[in-house]
Structure 1
Amino acid sequence: MKKITKIVLSLIIVSIIFTGCSPKEITGPDSDDTTEPVANTKPVAKIKASQFVKSGATVVLDGSESYDADNDPLNYSWQILSKPTGSDAALSSDNTVNTSIAADRDGDYEIQLTVSDQKSSSTPTTFTVTVLPFSGTIIFVDASNAQSGEGSELNPFKTIQSSIDFASSDDIIKVSQGIYAENIIIPGDKALRIFGGYQSGNFNNRNISAYVSRIAGNGTADVVSMEFSGGDGVRIYSKIDGFTIDGGTRGVSYTSLGNGGKIDVEISNNIIENNRGLSGNGDYGGGILTRGVSPIIIRNSVRNNQCGKGAGITVDLRDTTESVFISENIVENNIGHSDHGGGVYLSVRRGTVSHNIIRNNRIGETAGYGWGGGMIVDGGGADYTNDIYLTLSHNIYTGNSAPLIGGGLFIDEGANVRMERELIFKNSSDRGGGAGLYVDGPRGSTFAKTTLSYCTIADNVGADGSVGNAVYVEKDSVVEISKSIFWNNYSNDNADFNVADDDSTLSIGDSTYQTGKAGTGTFNETACSKNDPEFVDSATGDYHTTAVMDRGVFGN
């Protein structure tokens, strides 16, 4: 008996060692533990994009229709599986909800998206973008041509406007280096692609830094403008790329007359600077204005412009079936004279704003009051659904200022916004709080909320006696925060967060913050840390963390 007992005991011990259970955790038919594991549903990846595009277009790949039945947050993984021979195309980002690719060769580009919920990955989905062969005419412009020219490579037009007037829809215009003292107007029915930066006398050599094509306005109108007039069933694509654009009341303006048609506009690789003269409450977009069009605004430097609101960039697109894509721009030193949006003003419902640097912009220059020194997202109190939202990802906001609240970023009028890996630092609110992030209502839908994940908001400074210089929330707003850092945001009463009224809610979990909460609203906290994140070098803007914190390492 003793030998049998020893054998049985040994088997139980071995079982415990290999299963990692204690004897109490061993369950069987007679166990009282009836809890069953919760099954995880694999997420589903979906790609939305234009299937057929023109040569030279930037294609936006939209993964926002991917979903998880368990409502778990998703991670995105994009790949180019194949592309035409000789293509140098690359994804602008491989891990954001939306990305883009510059279609530099005719042919097929096969794109793959996989999404995961940290428990399982979706079945990969693919999408093929086909770049159609160019079928139009290439028209040439060279300011150094001694005569007016007729648009050929050997005898180019002398002015850009001459080439536009001559062109037909779907033509390409190539502009050589030089100063073009003109305000150009693109007819409302012409789909044109206009490229600057070619060497004078050699249109096979393009370098937009070495061969500067400058369009210099006369200070009385927009430098580049188009009022799209297409009717129902019409959709066109227009592009301006590789110019220095200055000296206008506004730099670039693409607007729709609302006749029922659609236009996709790409504004890329330009320097848009020193445009000013519009300072009223109803004046928007000193550098770039798009209204009622679907814009792709990428790799521009938008600087030293002035306007009433949105002095750097203004995008107004309230159509919930259309998206915006704004990426890799530098928006700096722009001045708003009115009260909303010094650098960027977005009145949009869906799309992606990613990898931009928004710095040293200010609002309220003439008004003396205002909100949103760096950027404002105006939700317009829209009736959002859960799948209609704007993604803000990997942007940097720094050195921006507002007289009242929202020095860095202002989310207004119940916008539905998802923030991920955003860095907001060293912004200021001169006479109020909310120097980092300000979220305001009212909401037009209970689906509208602002979420933050893996964000860092640090070293923002409000006025003496101000509150909530990390996050300021009011007027029926909902903010949900996870895995983020809030540190060294100046406030006399030691409150990183101000939930100002009873109708607003801020929930924070798995995050690090330094101080507490002010206001009468609801504040929910779960599993947070107050350990110093030990930034690598905040003096130079390096907010990577070096600390091993008890709740993990968060932020950019």
Structure 2
Amino acid sequence: MKVKQLVGMLTCLVMLVFAISCGDDEPSPSKFKLEADIDFSPENPAVNEEIALDASGSVDADAIGFTAEWTLLSQPGGSTTKITNADAIIASLIPDVEGDYEVQLKISNADEGVGDTKTVTINALAPGYVELSGFIDSDMTLENINLDPALIDYLVTGDVSVLAVLTVEPGVVIHFQEDKMMKIEQGGTLLAAGTEADSIIFTTANEEADLFWKGLYIQSASAQNILKYAEVSYAGNTAMDFNGADYKAGVGVNGGGNIKIENSLFASNKGYAVYLDDDGGKLNTFKDNLFVDNENGMAVWAETAASVDNTTTFTNSTNADVEIFSSSIAEATEITWKALSDDARYTVSGDIDVNGVLTIAPGAKFGLDEDVMIRVDGAFIAAGTAESPIEFTTSDAASALRWKGIYVNSADGRNILNHVTLSYAGNSEMNFSGEDFSAGVGIELGAKMAFKNSTFSNNKGYGVYADDAGGQIGAFENNTLTLNDRAVGLPADQAEMIDGASVFTDNANADVEIFESDFSESKTSTWKKLSGGAAYRLSGDMDVNGKLTIAAGAIVNFDENALVRVFGSLTAVGTATDRIVFTTSNPGGELYWKGIYISSASSLNNFDFTDFSFAGNSPIDFSGADFAAAIGVDITGKVSVTNSTFTNNKDYGIYADESGGQIGSFGTNSFSDNKRGVGIPADELDAMDGASTFTNNSFADVEVFGSDLAQDKVVTWKSLTTGASYRITGNIRVYGKVTVEAGASFKMDEDVQILVDGAFTAKGTSTNMITFTSSNIDGGLHWKGFYFSSTDASNEFDFCNIAYGGNSPHDFNGADFPANIAVNSDGKVTVTNSTISNSSGYGIYSKGVTNDFSGAAAGNTFTGNASGNNQE
């Protein structure tokens, strides 16, 4: 038992120790830190030249102390050298073979458990090279010292300033230590012309250590400066000091500088491989070069961009292939921006002012930075082809950044975009003479631009905008506008330029917007039918002073309360299969436009096969009383309307001013769901036809205002289609001669009177009687009745229903009496086969000449008349 207890106690002890041991956390990280750093010299040692390795620059912020341990991780084949004093802060190494030596430094403090390592690569150069630095002030030739292209010929250990002619022979290899530069000064010349077999190399002295030199700086204006069959790589360590802004570059050409660059390679350069200063850096010749793996290929200015050829290739540029900075093209300058090879593109990083002539070659591609604008005060010719279109778009679609657009302030007849795609413009508004808007292309007052075979997509504001005060479109043919806020915006005078072949799809607010503007008196033009159901959108009032035609099939949408006023002529003739539509731009929002106001009596005012809807937002200003209408004809106006529909208009479909608006031809129209179908004075009532239809017009089908029928009028008031009636809302005085067609129906408002001083003949048939009655029988309202003061023998009612008159007495010679038919002492009328009923007074009261209307031979029926009949 004791043995068992002892064993048990020992087991518990072991488990306790194990538990305590397992419960201990890993040691907490030290609060101290070391950071290794290696300094070595010389920067580019030669074989058998001692290299000092120095760790004293390592960071020991808390002064805890550290030990150093140097290790040679790799060395060239055949090398047997070792690090001397490998455990000292300062050690040394003597390279014994040309090539790269990878050295590692490890520093540590064992007590605190901290350390750090760093590795560098040191390139040992073979003997036989020459060091360069300082000034070259007499002509010099750099010869190819080592025929092996893997060996360097010259090592630049300090900045070199060339004040004379420096010739570099084919095959020469020049290495530059970190941040060192060769500067070709005024008066100096660089002749670096290699061959296809023996190129000249300008590069870093230590590529493995990722050290960059500064670059070649060209201050000289010598026309002989040349880089041909040369390689410039790993330059751009720090910015060069240019006349303008300072930038990093492999080759930097300062203002006044000039160089030819041909058949050369630019690789792995920081900043720009080639940079031309905005103060006049020039490329004398530039062709057949190769740019690979640079941060940016080239930086040029508007005029020098013309020097970039179309055979140079750009591959894997981090940012831009060819960047064009904010700059201008002088007024007398004519240049071409060529298409870059292999789909490379220009990046335009600042505004461009085109004061001269700029031609864009087919196939050229441009990415424009945020809010960048091209301003055209000279000529802008961008004529691509179907196979090689020109492209203008954002430089950063992934970040949804937009450029500003092309602003045209020139009327040069050469201005054109043909086979161009333009997208993601409209970042901010352009400053126009009129109102300011965003646009892909904005045309200023007096300026002009043509558009053919081009695509505008994803632009804020407008794809194309012509200033409302008079921007001009030279041509507009076969374009595509899609996914823009608004495709096109222009004044009325320019709408004729939009063709019927251009395609409009998915533009959020408008296909073709027409601003508040005037159609000029001198204009005679046609607004064409847009393709695919696209529509014009009138966003403001328009005055038609000239002769405007709307083509069959055109659709015109109007913003709220927009009005067209016709002082010249407006012709809208569609077909049965290609109708013209005038309607609201926002039916879903239940917004109404105002209508079309006709002030001219031109015979060209004609609407045929047209559809009007959702007009009548507010009254039109007529010579007489003001009313709302889809078509409003003023006292001086005249219009013909045939084969047309009027639906869902707030008040009248058609209104002719009570003082004399004229209806020309009128036939086979349809009026439905309006408040009133037609409103006309008595003189125009004969224009109504029997084929037009009227449905669900809440107040009236055809309203006839209180007015006079002129003495020279000899007319027929036709019967409207089944169920439709004339509604007479004011007194009618007939001075002319009226014949009422069988089947016609008239409804009169309260106390309305028809006074006949001329002639009035209403002859129905037994199966198609004519009706004259109250407009509100259910409301118990009565009209006044007929009053005859004419002795014309043709005054007659035959097969008529005359009911609910007699509201108030007629003005007889002598005592006054109410009656459905009143015949004054100087009047005459015959009444046969008619029903006279429900008069508040007499059915017929005559002081004049009548037939024996009460006799059986007359065939009349009298019923419900309060006072019966009277014949004095």
Do the two structures share a fold, i.e. TM-score over 0.5?
Answer: no
Task: Tell me which protein shows more strand as a share of its residues.
Answer: 2
Scaled by the length of structure 1, the TM-score of the pair is: 0.44
Scaled by the length of structure 2, the TM-score of the pair is: 0.30
Structure with more relative contact order (C-alpha pairs < 8 Å, separation 6 or more): 1
